[in-house]
Amino acid sequence: MDADAIRGRVIVEESREAVVVLDDADRVVLASRRARQTIEGVREGERLVYLSREGDLAAYEELRSGFTAAVSHELRTPLARLLTLLETATLPGEDVSALLEQAAGEVEQITELIDEVLFLSELESGALVVALGAAPVRPVLEEALDELHERAVRAGVELRLECDPGIALAIRPRMLRVVARNLAENAIRYAGPGATFTLTAEREHDGSVLLSGRDDGIGVEEAELSRLFERFYRGDRARVSRGTGLGLAIVKHVVTQGGGSVEARGGRGRGLEISCRFPASA
């Protein structure tokens, strides 16, 4: 396959619209990721017989309204705390400076939630994840961990990186940085003081690249592992934190749009490992 053909395939694959390319026999030659996600039965090499938009639209509306309700619910708590802090600051004898500092923290959490919701919406609108060419992974991972160094120190979590400089991925650096940051932030929030978080990238025998974030901290119950990638899901310990509940959902969305898969392993007292497997670069 020549360079123009590869470029055309990537453009169709990452289109924000549901694009399906058919041959003379109405067989699917190529389909965008959005088409495969929204149109039942779209598979390369198979004949496209019927398209139904009514069911697709109904499912989309149900998903959209549910997501909107969840976002509204998540915003209520920090907004309520913010209002209480500001009202308390008007009372005589209160430590106004301390209350305003706490209020600033609530504003930061609201801003973080809004930013992550907007990013998730960007992904669902068809934002490009895959790049046309492979790029070195290590510089992006180093940058992501450097940005979180001070937060990690305050949380008592050590950050480490293990990555061969020769490893490359056909993933946009911005998207890879988001994955790395969210894996590290998850450990900073939940692993506990004294924990070590190790971000590792290694090439597998089949050419795929395994990016994993592993900590030796508190961990989660095994029963919760399968739910960690759900939007707004929080385990018992996470419910008392200031996380948005979207970090690992974003990780899964980026990785799967890049053609990969994610998996969570660990247990209470055994830390947590999130593995992201990316396909071999062409």
Angle between helices 173-190 and 138-147 (to 10 degrees): 40
> How many domains does the chain contain in total?
3
SS3 call for 238: helix
Within this chain, do residues 134 and 115 fall inside the same structural domain, yes or no? Answer: no
Give the residue from 124, 139, 157 where a domain finishes: 124
Write out the two tokens for 17: 């619209």
Check if the beta carbon of residue 278 is closer than 8 Å to that of residue 251: no
- Sheet of strand 209-215: strand arrangement: 158-163, 196-203, 209-215, 272-278, 261-266
Site of tokens 């392993």? 265
Write out the two tokens for 201: 């990238």
Within this chain, do residues 183 and 243 fall inside the same structural domain, yes or no? Answer: yes
Within this chain, do residues 194 and 262 fall inside the same structural domain, yes or no? Answer: yes
Within this chain, do residues 152 and 210 fall inside the same structural domain, yes or no? Answer: yes
Q: Rounded to the nearest 5°, which phi and psi values hold at 27?
A: -95, 145
209, 241, 253 from 73: Cα distances, Å? 37, 16, 22
Site of tokens 């190529």? 30
Within this chain, do residues 75 and 114 fall inside the same structural domain, yes or no? Answer: yes
CA atoms within 13 A on the CB side of 3: 2
pLDDT value of residue 114: 79
Check if the beta carbon of residue 181 is closer than 8 Å to that of residue 144: yes
CA 223 distance to own-chain centroid: 21
Mean pLDDT, consecutive 10-residue segments, the chain of 282 residues? Answer: 60 67 75 70 66 50 55 71 88 89 82 74 72 88 94 95 92 90 93 95 91 94 87 58 73 89 92 92 57
Within this chain, do residues 94 and 212 fall inside the same structural domain, yes or no? Answer: no
Cα(281)–Cα(170) distance, integer angstroms: 6
What is the domain range of residue 141?
Answer: 130-278
Within this chain, do residues 19 and 80 fall inside the same structural domain, yes or no? Answer: no
Q: What is the DSSP letter of 57?
A: H
Other Cβ atoms closer than 10 A to 162:
13
Could you tell me the pTM of the whole model? 0.64
Within this chain, do residues 185 and 214 fall inside the same structural domain, yes or no? Answer: yes
Q: What is the CATH number of the domain that holds 84?
A: 1.10.287.130
